[in-house]
Amino acid sequence: MTMTADPAIDPTPTRRAQRLAEREQSARLTPSSTPTVRTAGRRALFWVLAGAGAVILSIVASLIVGGSTAGGVPLAASNPAPAGSRALVEVLRQQGVNVTVADTFDDAITALSTSTDPTLFFADENGYLSAAQITQLLRLPSRAVVSEPDFTFLDAVAPGVGFGGVSTADALSADCSVPAAIRAGTLSPGGTTLRIVDESSPDMTGCFPSGDGAFSMVEVARGGQSLTLVAQPAVFRNDEIGTFGNAALALNLLGVSDTVVWYLPTLADVPRTGPPSLGALTPGWVTPVLLLLMLTAFSAFVWRGRRFGPLVAENLPVTVRANETMEGRARLYSRNSARLRAIDALRIGALSRLATRLGLPRTAHHSEITLAVAALTGQPVAEVRAILIDDVPHSDSDLVRLSDHLADLETLVGRMLPGTTPSSSPPAPPHGRIDI
């Protein structure tokens, strides 16, 4: 038996179902492009490791920096760390000594100037002060104790003292006549030393010798002033102050007077010297050469200069009729639909002619002209202002209407003025053309 398809049954749904089945089968066979968690983790592994490494490096750097600054400012009066000198300062204050901490160079100068018989404690580990500042500072106190002086300090204040290297002695005894050193007896061994260049000088006394002319302390007498140079700063540090005779030496050096000015220079005390000027960087021959070149150029201008003669009026060879210019401009306005620009051109000419007829100056404002026209013609000010200023043409007919109103207004003004001949249009050029 042969079966025939029923034309009443639409085969479209069956075909649609077949296409959907084919799409589902293709989707099962095609691998998914959406990344899994494992794939995404593999892709992000590098960035995770890089971020973890950056965090670890930051932590290590902060620990290193924190460890390096954990000691605070060396020999600072308020620093309780091993490198500080708070222990010595507190003992001095308990002994009745007024310890004034100077934060800047100016503060130190002020404190030394206002104190009676002060003692200066000075330590410039980084060499911030210049030779002039050091000399100015040491003029004021009668006693000065300097810890670990550098080359600039020795060259400016004590040129007879030099560096003696590092001490290798196992024990350091006073072996001098300085009372503070005698009371201390011994000093902690090691550290840098100083050397007296001229050993026969009676103004210099070396204490705590290490052999070969090296001393851990040198006292210099400068015109009634006592200057004590202590080579190793460990004598004043919190971690070394209690060993050997360090405490006795420090207290006897600084506790002589009732006032101690404790000054540690900082970066803010560095003299400000700006960059060299252009004149300082320029060789000396540049200025004469520039002057010579300027003189030569001026001489050349005078020699080769030409004076222009009087201006000559010359007629251009092209003559354009006035009506052609008017028509050409009208075509341009019409092509661009510039109705407002066209009426503004007509209004400007009308205002100028009205001002002349009314005896107003050329610089008269349009409001003055409007009031004068309204007063002369008896028309409302708003109506005259609308014709001369406010109305905007939205079509060609509006433009023609406004131009007619302008012409009528000029005619009316000419008719109202005595001794004038009314004219409905502006006077034409005498020959009907304009030369350009």
- Name the nearest CA neighbour of 148 among 250, 256, 234: 234
For 147-151, the CB contacts below 8 A with 24+ separation are 147/75, 147/121, 147/122, 147/123, 147/230, 147/233, 147/235, 147/236, 148/123, 148/192, 148/230, 148/231, 148/232, 148/233, 149/124, 149/194, 149/229, 149/231, 150/124
d(CA 128, CA 123): 10
Domain boundaries for CATH 3.40.50 within the chain: 86-269
- Name the nearest CA neighbour of 94 among 247, 271, 322, 203: 247
Going by CATH, does the domain composed of 86-269 fall within 3.40.50? yes
pLDDT tens digit at each of 436 positions of the chain: 444 444 444 455 566 666 666 666 655 554 544 556 666 667 777 777 777 888 887 777 666 655 444 567 889 988 998 889 999 999 999 999 999 999 999 999 999 999 888 999 999 988 889 899 999 999 889 899 999 999 999 988 888 899 988 888 888 899 898 999 999 999 988 889 999 887 767 788 999 998 888 899 999 987 778 899 999 898 999 988 888 889 999 999 998 889 999 999 988 888 766 676 777 778 888 888 999 999 999 888 888 776 666 777 777 667 767 677 777 777 777 777 778 888 888 888 888 888 888 888 878 888 888 898 888 888 888 888 888 888 888 888 888 888 888 888 888 888 888 765 544 444 444 444 434 3
* Per-residue confidence (pLDDT) for residue 65, from 0 to 100: 53
* Per-residue confidence (pLDDT) for residue 88, from 0 to 100: 92
d(CA 320, CA 429): 12
* Per-residue confidence (pLDDT) for residue 71, from 0 to 100: 66
d(CA 417, CA 104): 90
Indicate the helix (H) or strand (E) that contains 413.
helix 396-416
**Burial grade of 261 (CB within 10 A; 0-12, 13-18, 19 or more):** buried
Q: Do 141 and 225 form a contact (C-beta atoms < 8 A)?
A: yes
Phi, psi of 200 (to 5 degrees): -85, 0
d(CA 122, CA 261): 8
DSSP readout, 233-258? GGGGSTTTTTSTTHHHHHHHHHSSSS
